[in-house]
């Protein structure tokens, strides 16, 4: 099997688990967790924020591990965290144990994606790198759809949500073994693992980091609260209690498979138009959850739009950072994901409090406004992808 196929398939499986049930499972089953453990929306927001804080620490650990022993080690660590965390959730007896499992599982996302920029840069020819990174990032689609399908099947059969988490853990173990084998050629080989903060903290990279920050805030608000908002509004007609979140994740995941064509779309319309268009898709998705939380058309369109946005923007962030900083592929992408992680911590925690203080609709409209404002700010002259000289003293980002 060629390096392109091998790494693309392994990375697809890794992100399917780490960014699928491990990262999104808490939001998918939030209504059941509230009932089983008596947690409030504010507490749910804090648990979610804790998980994304683990994601932030995972990013730092992933870069250090990649620089030390190559990209296979952090991917294996991440999938181990995912498997153990999902087992802990499955056997949780109280809210504290649940929180521990959720945080462990969500931490895996920090380890399981960024090392692939390094692995792909080492093993895949330049002309196929954007396509490979798009496939890796789109694994989230399969993970989300799989999680939703398992949840719906169990609910229709009257089975416990705990069985779903046991199934997720089994899939995590399978992905762990597959990545152990597929990444053998990059084990112990750090590749281009240099660190140069001065090189990446330059003005041409500012749109990348601002987009990543906005992406982190809005997507985690959707992941953490959209399904609960729909459930609180009465759910979708014709579905059993708890069925709406599962259907939303299935639609989200299937629509996100469109991201397999992200690189081709970018080549056709250009990066600036693609970035602005995706941010407007995000705004539409969040606004629909606020305005039509119990409409099949509204919720279906919101789920599909969010799936397309998340998967395509994930691919964009991966190859945008790699193109800007080809000499620092792992480090530049880690820095981009740190911006995502900062937004991911702030988003759920702030959204939980705003939802209680005002309303769920107001919270989602605020998130939609943020996506729209980011789109307006991404003027074509500011968005570039031409490689930057990492040894050159470019204009640094302002201190304030």
pLDDT band (50, 70, 90) for residue 87: very high
Contact 102, 166 (CB under 8 A): no
- Start-to-end C-alpha separation, the chain: 49
- pLDDT, tens digit (0-9, with 9 covering 90-100), for 293-310: 989 999 999 999 999 999
- pLDDT, tens digit (0-9, with 9 covering 90-100), for 194-209: 566 777 778 888 899 9
Is pLDDT at 12 greater than 70 in this prediction?
yes
- pLDDT at position 134 is 75
- pLDDT, tens digit (0-9, with 9 covering 90-100), for 237-261: 888 767 888 899 899 999 988 887 8
Contact 99, 47 (CB under 8 A): yes
CA angle 249, 111, 31 (to 5 degrees): 30
- pLDDT at position 173 is 96
Is pLDDT at 392 greater than 70 in this prediction?
no
pLDDT band (50, 70, 90) for residue 354: confident
pLDDT band (50, 70, 90) for residue 50: confident
Is pLDDT at 268 greater than 80 in this prediction?
yes
Q: What are the two backbone dihedrals, phi and then psi, of residue 202, each rounded to the nearest 5 degrees?
A: -125, 155
d(CA 13, CA 35): 32
pLDDT band (50, 70, 90) for residue 356: confident
Is pLDDT at 192 greater than 90 in this prediction?
no
- pLDDT at position 399 is 39
Lowest-confidence region among 126-130, 161-165, 243-247, 273-277: 126-130
Is pLDDT at 85 greater than 50 in this prediction?
yes
Per-domain residue ranges of the chain? 3-377
- pLDDT, tens digit (0-9, with 9 covering 90-100), for 201-230: 788 888 999 999 999 999 989 988 888 888
- pLDDT, tens digit (0-9, with 9 covering 90-100), for 141-159: 888 888 889 888 887 887 8
- pLDDT at position 391 is 52
CA contacts within 13 A on the Cβ side of 107: 24
Lowest-confidence region among 22-31, 96-105, 203-212: 22-31
3-377 domain in CATH 3.40.190.10?
Answer: no
Per the DSSP assignment, residues forming a β-bridge with 396 are 202
SS3 328: coil
- pLDDT at position 387 is 67
Average of pLDDT values for 375-400?
64
Is pLDDT at 106 greater than 70 in this prediction?
yes
DSSP string, 15-60: HHHHTTHHHHHHHHTHHHHHHHH---HHHHHHHHHHHHHHHHHHHH
Is pLDDT at 330 greater than 90 in this prediction?
no
- pLDDT at position 92 is 94
What rounded mean pLDDT belongs to the chain? 85
- pLDDT at position 393 is 43
Average of pLDDT values for 41-56?
83
Lowest-confidence region among 47-56, 112-121, 145-154, 261-270: 112-121
Distances, alpha carbon 246 to alpha carbons 146, 148, 231, 352, in Å: 10, 4, 11, 21
pLDDT band (50, 70, 90) for residue 397: very low
């Amino acid at each position: 099997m060629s390096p392109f196929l091998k790494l693309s398939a392994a990375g697809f499986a890794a992100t399917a688990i780490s960014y699928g049930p491990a990262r999104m499972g808490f939001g998918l089953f939030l209504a059941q967790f509230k009932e089983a453990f008596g947690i409030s929306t504010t507490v749910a927001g804090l648990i979610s924020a804790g998980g994304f804080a683990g994601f932030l620490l995972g990013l730092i650990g992933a870069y250090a591990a990649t620089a030390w022993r190559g990209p296979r080690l952090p991917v294996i660590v991440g999938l181990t965290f995912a498997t153990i965390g999902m087992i802990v959730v499955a056997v949780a007896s109280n809210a504290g144990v649940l929180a521990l499992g959720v945080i462990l599982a969500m931490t895996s996302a920090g380890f399981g994606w960024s090392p692939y920029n390094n692995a792909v840069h080492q093993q895949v020819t330049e002309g196929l790198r954007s396509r490979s990174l798009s496939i890796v990032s789109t694994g989230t689609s399969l993970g989300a759809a799989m999680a939703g399908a398992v949840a719906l099947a169990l609910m229709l059969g009257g089975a416990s949500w705990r069985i779903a988490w046991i199934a997720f853990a089994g899939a995590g173990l399978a992905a762990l073994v597959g990545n152990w084998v597929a990444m053998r050629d990059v084990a112990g080989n750090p590749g281009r693992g240099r660190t140069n903060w001065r090189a990446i903290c330059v003005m041409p990279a500012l749109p990348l980091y601002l987009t990543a920050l906005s992406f982190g805030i809005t997507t985690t608000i959707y992941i953490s609260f959209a399904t609960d908002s729909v459930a609180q509004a009465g759910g979708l007609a014709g579905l059993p209690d708890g069925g709406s979140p599962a259907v939303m994740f299935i639609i989200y995941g299937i629509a996100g498979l469109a991201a397999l064509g992200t690189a081709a779309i970018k080549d056709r319309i250009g990066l600036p138009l693609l970035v602005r268009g995706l941010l407007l898709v995000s705004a539409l998705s969040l606004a629909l959850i606020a305005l039509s939380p119990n409409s099949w058309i509204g919720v279906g369109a919101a789920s599909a739009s969010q799936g397309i946005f998340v998967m395509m923007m994930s691919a964009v962030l991966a190859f945008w950072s790699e193109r800007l900083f080809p000499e620092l592929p792992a480090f530049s992408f880690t820095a981009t994901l740190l911006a995502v992680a900062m937004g991911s911590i702030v988003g759920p925690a702030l959204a939980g409090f705003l939802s209680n203080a005002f309303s769920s609709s107001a919270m989602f409209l605020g998130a939609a406004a943020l996506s729209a404002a980011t789109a307006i700010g991404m003027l074509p002259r500011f968005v570039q992808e031409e490689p930057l000289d990492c040894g050159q003293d470019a204009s640094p980002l302002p201190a304030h």
